[in-house]
Chain A
Amino acid sequence: MKQTEILVVGGGPAGLCAASAAAELGADVLILERDSKPGGQLVKQTHKFFGSKKQYAGDRGIQIGDFLLEQVESNPKVEVWPDATCLGIYEDGVVTAEKDDKHIKIKPERIIIATGAAEKALMFPNNDLPGIYGAGAVQTLMNVAGVVPGKRVLMVGAGNIGLIVSYQLLQAGVEVAAVIEAAPHIGGYLVHASKIRRAGVPILTSHTVKEAYGNDTLEGAIICRLDEKWQPIPGTEQDIKADVMCLAVGLSPLTELCWQAGCKMKYIAELSGHVPVRNEYLETTRPGLYVAGDVSGVEEASSAMVEGRLAGISAALSLGYGKDKAPQLQAEALAELKELRSGPTGEKIMNGIMKLLGKEGAAC
């Protein structure tokens, strides 16, 4: 059985930052990463980040991923296991994983779960036709594997993922027929929306997919307008020819391990689904088990990195590391999170977190 002080499950932005922060204070850390290259979603993000310099604004996601990976690999206190998937967390604190086709047991003193999120699906007739993808899958196909998904795409969802992937499709020479969004307004940043509008791609708000059609693969979709109660308006149908449809309709936190570990869970729509109840320092109701990033509520990679750092510092401090420095570092991370969540999108996240912390209406 492998012993470690802190086990980080997931080598995305949150997990890598958690590992670095904990190791810098002196703790031994092991990272489990299911993919062969750590970095999570950053490995396919070719766009530049916003925010402040501290959250790598101006750098492209893929560069940030490489930098975070270098940071953990240059720290002798961190061990990284790629191609290793966490399989379970048991009552006695033993964690199991699959690595090199073997079942392995790990006994950590603290656990940080940073498993991220999975793409949500949408229900409409023929939603299983080949050519219908999650937008994240298309991003992986293009930016990691170097394969274009098709010739003409219908993008469903005008949040940041939908807008960014649409732009990247255009960059790859793929036609984007339209971006449709069920909500009455564009969910993503205006700067991303403007870029694709300038390229001539229509963004249709209050629109949804009525049905997809095609013989063996996708040939097109019928879209329609929605009224203020999100009901289809008859007679507003449009036929959009497309051989690819991308679903960018949100993410669900990947919380299976939190449920298994017995963490108290709460459904919070603002955080995109069930999330573990945790305190300000990201420790769940199971002592010694922390969460960071999308698993604790779907947000941007910038806040995932800061949450990771906060969870890493807090886990290390609980083991007695960095007693002098840690409180100051925690305060800094909390201040950064507050700033990142100060915009209009952040308001929704803050409402969700207040519900999670049982402080509803505290700000009113």
Chain B
Amino acid sequence: MENKVIVCRCEDVTLEDIHALIKQGYRTIDEIKRVSRAGMGPCQGRTCRMLIAQELAKAYGVSMEEVIMPTFRPTVKPVKLGIFVGGE
């Protein structure tokens, strides 16, 4: 047991990692994603996105409505490159 608090279980990002990034000045979910990969795994942030938003809201003293959401792009779930080969 390591007593870790997992925020992003796909990419194994902990609450401690998120707090350290916020301390360094990262302010948005997208910024945190780019440096930590939180939200880039199989579930594409469905589990961790709002948990990170909650931490950002707390740290910067803003409401949840004010936390900037990341950009949502196709594809909404990871797919194999092979599906494009014979596909449209």
Contacts and interface: CB of A to CB of B under 8 A. Distances in A.
B4 interface: yes
B77 A85 contact: yes
Nearest to B81: A103
Q: Specify which of B9, B51, B83 lies most central, judged by the most chain A CB atoms within 10 Å of its CB.
A: B83
Given A96-B74, A123-B51, A260-B74, A128 B83 contact: no
Contacts of A252: 46, 50
Nearest to B84: A103
A193 B45 CA distance: 33
Interface in B1-32: 1-7, 9, 15
Contacts of A87: 74-77, 79
Given A104-B88, A124-B5, A214-B1, A260 B73 contact: yes
Interface in A238-258: 252, 254, 256-257
Contacts of B1: 126, 129, 213-215
B52 to A, nearest CB: 11
B9 to A, nearest CB: 6
A114 B7 CA distance: 27
Nearest to A272: B50
Nearest to B63: A267
Given A90-B74, A252-B50, A269 B64 contact: yes
A129 to B, nearest CB: 8
Interface residues of B, number: 32
B36 interface: no
Nearest to B18: A123
Given A87-B74, A103-B88, A126 B3 contact: yes
Contact of A120 (B50, B74, B83): B50
A201 to B, nearest CB: 27
A132 B6 CA distance: 12
A248 to B, nearest CB: 15
Given A121-B51, A123-B51, A86 B76 contact: yes
Nearest to B12: A128
Contacts of A123: 5-7, 15, 51
B83 A101 contact: yes
A292 to B, nearest CB: 18
Interface string A116-130: 001011011111110
Interface string A100-112: 0111110000000
B65 A267 contact: yes
24 contacts: A87-B77, A87-B79, A88-B73, A96-B75, A102-B86, A102-B87, A102-B88, A104-B88, A105-B88, A121-B9, A123-B6, A125-B3, A125-B5, A127-B5, A128-B9, A213-B1, A214-B1, A215-B1, A259-B69, A259-B72, A260-B73, A265-B69, A267-B64, A269-B64
